[in-house]
Structure 1
Amino acid sequence: MTLAVHGSSVDIPTPDGTADAYLVHPESAGPHPGVLLYMDAFGLRPSLNGMADRIAAAGYTVLVPNVFYRAGRTPLVELPDFIGDDQRPAIFQTVLPVMRALTPELAVRDAGAYLDRLAAEPRAADGPIGVTGYCMGAGLALRTAVAYPDRVAAMAGFHGAQLASEAPDSPHLGADRITAELYFGHADQDAALPPEQIERLEKALTDAGVRHHAEVYAGAHHGYTQADTSSYDAEAAERHWTALLDLLGRALPTRRGAAL
């Protein structure tokens, strides 16, 4: 049984300004374990908010920040209801410079503000939280688990990009700081995370003794979880939901029974 949820727009103070965000929680009595959801490059929109709603319906308080807030409030670019291959070039012409401006240092600083907002939320339970991210958001989720090990109990990333590159600031290089349990759902048709990076990430996590499980979803493309895009794969998306909610259930058990 899923819980009824309530969502609203909120503002998050950060060292560099104010980030707009979507906050959703069960309508039943809380508090509920917190989850930070990192967006993909297309940003906050009804489809992504709906994904946060589904997590909240399982018994969590979920925060989805606009990580591009320095460039403006949502939406940075007007999106069609369905993002097809023909719309992507024009969208990324606007979005790519903003993505590149979000340096690892800024991302980690912002993550502290997002974690503080969840910690201050009456509907969010005290203690460590879960983090999940999609596409570019998977890298942000991994960086958050590295930078705030005492505040993150579980981290999931789906069709992540550049998670284990040869760059000196690649997020996998901080694996030895992670204390959370991790799950990755990679897409095997994904130029943003080729096999050599999947292997490099696996080795880094294994060598660091990180509790983790990674799977490559056969036939899935980059963005397979996003129902409002042409990359969507319904079967792979449902597989991701099972893996994500299983991870959160292990690391952050809910009070759904008491709430019901």
Structure 2
Amino acid sequence: MHEKDVSIVTRHGTMPAFAVHPEGSGPFPTVILYMDAPGIREELRNMARRIAAGGYYCLLPDLYYRLGTVRFDLPRRDERMSAVVGACMRSIDNDRVNEDTAGMLAFLDGEAAAISQRISCVGFCMSGRYVVAAAAKFAKRFASAASLYGVGLVTEDDGSPHKLVADVPGELYFGFAETDSAAPPKTIETLRTALAAAGTRHDIDVFPGSEHGYCFAAGRAYQPQAAEATWAKLFDLWQRTLT
């Protein structure tokens, strides 16, 4: 495995990121891994390594770079830490993440090991919203996108993912927890209706017995059966849309 820390030039400055791909010169099909609300940590790097082990170039950007270097000691999480996580989460939006994505695409265009013209992305929690926004904004570049227990998927603003799916020509995958206050059944049904009306290629799973965060082994909500089923769906999506 080949991995490195990289710096990506964006409209707002320099964004740190982690890049990893299999041994060899490639080029490899590319997946951007957008972080969840607690931000960059080793568990996310390990997820990027798992994607790379499947034969992909994976880029993991630090979306909180405008705030400086933000890292959370999650085993010590309490209400005060959660308040800071929430504040960081609110510091970004569709426009900012799309601006960062433009920088990522330019960076990937210069990476000999990455196939960058048609890529995919996956986002957890906070970024479940942003992967849809990116797939709509950069429609010619994203062959697919996966949103896992995403938050803010159905809102009143114009940037709500359920309003953007009509602008996504690629394939979308949504994985939801059975119990999740951030994505209750009403949200899922509204999203289903919007996807059907738009004619967007998509797949939606709701995993029984799971809660928000079920993919993260270090978290209290980890549900291995749902997590592994989700990984299988992701690799099937990438196989189908990138190779």
User: Shorter-chain TM-score category?
Assistant: over 0.9
Counterpart of 1:155 in structure 2 is: 145
Mapped partners of 1:55, 1:95: distance in 2: 26
Counterpart of 1:79 in structure 2 is: 73
Q: Does 1:227 align with 2:221?
A: no
Identity of aligned residues (%): 38
The answer (yes or no) to whether the contact 1:33–1:59 under 8 Å persists in 2 is: yes
Off by >6 Å, runs of 4+ in structure 1: none
Counterpart of 2:84 in structure 1 is: 94
Taking the TM superposition and a 5 Å limit, the aligned residue runs for 1:100-249 are 100-249=90-239
One-letter amino acid of the counterpart of residue 183, structure 2: L
The answer (yes or no) to whether the contact 2:40–2:71 under 8 Å persists in 1 is: no
Counterpart of 2:59 in structure 1 is: 63
Q: 1:148 to 1:204 in 2, by over 3 A?
A: same
One-letter amino acid of the counterpart of residue 192, structure 2: E
TM-score under structure 1 normalisation?
A: 0.90
Deviation at 1:135, TM superposition (A): 0.6
SS at 2:140 equivalent? coil
Q: Does 1:47 align with 2:37?
A: no
SS at 2:139 equivalent? coil
Q: Relative contact order (C-alpha < 8 Å, sep 6+): which is higher?
A: 1
The answer (yes or no) to whether the contact 1:162–1:197 under 8 Å persists in 2 is: no
The answer (yes or no) to whether the contact 1:11–1:19 under 8 Å persists in 2 is: yes
Counterpart of 2:4 in structure 1 is: 8
Deviation at 1:89, TM superposition (A): 2.2
The answer (yes or no) to whether the contact 2:105–2:116 under 8 Å persists in 1 is: no
SS at 2:205 equivalent? strand
Mapped partners of 1:247, 1:88: distance in 2: 36
Q: Which one is further off, 233-242 or 110-119? A: 110-119
Counterpart of 2:30 in structure 1 is: 34
Mapped partners of 2:3, 2:79: distance in 1: 31
Mapped partners of 2:197, 2:72: distance in 1: 44
Deviation at 1:88, TM superposition (A): 4.4
One-letter amino acid of the counterpart of residue 23, structure 2: E
- Work out which of the residue numbers 19, 22, 27 in structure 1 matches 2:18: 22
SS at 2:155 equivalent? coil
Deviation at 1:169, TM superposition (A): 2.7
SS at 1:33 equivalent? strand
RMSD over aligned Cα atoms: 1.3
The answer (yes or no) to whether the contact 1:146–1:178 under 8 Å persists in 2 is: yes
The answer (yes or no) to whether the contact 2:108–2:116 under 8 Å persists in 1 is: no
Structure 1 gap segments, 5+ residues each: 254-260
Deviation at 1:119, TM superposition (A): 2.0
Deviation at 1:63, TM superposition (A): 0.3
Mapped partners of 2:211, 2:134: distance in 1: 25
Mapped partners of 1:230, 1:119: distance in 2: 38
Deviation at 1:77, TM superposition (A): 3.4
The answer (yes or no) to whether the contact 2:22–2:53 under 8 Å persists in 1 is: yes
SS at 1:167 equivalent? coil
